[in-house]
Chains A and B, each alone.
Chain A
Amino acid sequence: MKGKGNVLKHLVLIWVIIGLLVFARNLSTQEKTSGTLSDETYPGYVSELYEVPITGLPCNGTVRTYLADPKHFSHAEIDAFLAANGDSIISAQEEAITYYNVYSGYCYSGAKFMSQISADNHPFSVFQYKNSEKCLYFDDYPIYYGEENYQTNSQYTIGWMFEEEKDFSFASASQAEHTVREALACLGLSEVTLIRTLYLDHTIMEKAGKLLSTAERYAPIGESVPNNGFPIKEDWSESDDGYMFSFAISVHGTPLSYRSFPTDTSVYCGCEIIVWFTKDGIVFLTVTTPWVVEASSSTDMNVVSPQSAIETTKKKLENVLTYQDFEIESAYLEYQYIQVQNTWKLTPVWVVTFSYDVLHMDSRSYGTVYFDALSGEEK
């Protein structure tokens, strides 16, 4: 009985400590705001008339189509990538899971890696490397998890806070990018195009944490949790600085699409490479659906003018009554893969992006239309 009494006392003490921790956490949380920012604004897309920026138009007005194969990462390539990042495997296993073959394991740095491949099912290949402890805040904070999301979801993300170019003490941005490119080359990803760089300054990360933990729009749906569920760090320092790089596979200078979207019969899996780089090297890497670009499957062919794609998009939007104040945001050339019998082909596509208002919604909405760049037909 005396022994049980002591156990009870210890348990009561544990509950008191937990209660104090909860109380202290709630005390440090400021009152939730209505969602407007105190000293930061996010870049809403302004409804102004401006000439549509067009990128990717070939200098000589011609393009080719190419054959391609899904890229599967070999064990040797994975080992070489890890070595380039100053890491190596402690333990690994390979197993067949439903439609995929998965090779995964743990590294000496504490990172986990996973390579998932399939011959017949999307996505054909995924490779991820993640040191959870070292990229906790980059991962948990809604900074960047895809270019399409970055462009269209700024209301709920904070990546826009990190756009100002700067060099950190552990490496300049160009040095960091060079190191990352060398590591990607070890994986067989030598031909890549940089899509975006973000500069993760620790002083801005601290501001970001305060914003995320208090603004109502970052709260989870249907429940109230302390700090909106985001981890909060009190002791940010230079050692927490980092860069985010996102890349696309380059098809002779033109990017392969990073977008993912459903099709009539399947799903189109975009290819995107996202890297977080700090003083510890690469702490996070994800590569989805990479391709090996093979020989060209055509001669030079004329590209349809993007203006016809833009005009077709405008006429389409004019007929949608619930779209208000629509604006064509951009038009650019990219490659997309298609299946032709037993082969994969990369074909050029004009992508036209637009934004519009919906009655009663605070933020603008976005859409995309695709056009075959050789025929001008909407895809």
Chain B
Amino acid sequence: MIHKKLKNRIVSVMLSLLILLPILILTAYASSPKKSYSYSFNGLSGTSYTSAKKTDVGDSTERAAGISILGGDFGYGQVRFWINGPRGDTITDKTQYYSSPQSSISLLYSNDNGLYDNCDVTMYCQASIGVQYVYGNFQP
């Protein structure tokens, strides 16, 4: 009896997944594409920034930003990134330090971020001594 109940429960869960997964897939296709910005920073400046517009607020991609490091001269130095929102306050954690090109760095936006569609955000890059320059892409 218990074995039959357990079997029915497992079948029910699997049926629910089979119903939900197509919906999730179709929803993923409906998300708004991220807009790209290029950046290049002179490492001798210490902290540099670039401004961008966030145009996917309200879409499924809004929770995270993406940064790539395409190249640069790091010397023996490192860089890290964070993002400020339209109020001027920091709305992501600071990333770890990097000393080589990275294909994809993800930053999650905090809950109280003041973001609205088409708002201005600013990506900061802090470079330690030794970094000559760094460049890449940023998708807010």
Contacts and interface: CB of A to CB of B under 8 A. Distances in A.
Interface of A: 4, 7-8, 11, 14-15, 18, 98-100, 114, 116, 121-123, 126, 128, 130, 139-140, 142, 145-146, 148-149, 153, 155-157, 212, 217-218, 220-223, 226, 228-230, 259-262, 266-267, 269-270, 274, 286, 288, 320, 322-323, 358-361, 363, 365
B35 A222 contact: no
Contact of B37 (A149, A262, A266): A149
Nearest to A219: B36
Contacts of B86: 122-123, 267, 269
Interface string B15-36: 1001100100110010111111
B42 A269 contact: no
B118 A128 contact: yes
Contacts of A270: 120
A280 B15 CA distance: 44
A228 B32 CA distance: 10
A122 B88 contact: yes
B33 A128 contact: no
Contacts of B32: 139-140, 229
Interface residues of B, number: 51
B122 interface: yes
B47 to A, nearest CB: 10
Given A14-B22, A222-B103, A361 B87 contact: no
Contacts, number: 140
A98 B51 contact: no
Contacts of A323: 42
B48 to A, nearest CB: 10
B55 A223 contact: no
A156 B38 contact: yes
Contact of B51 (A99, A148, A155): A148
B33 A229 contact: yes
Given A126-B116, A358-B40, A220 B34 contact: yes
Contact of B71 (A123, A212, A229, A360): A360
A221 B35 contact: no
Contacts of A121: 87
Contact of B18 (A11, A116, A153, A361): A11
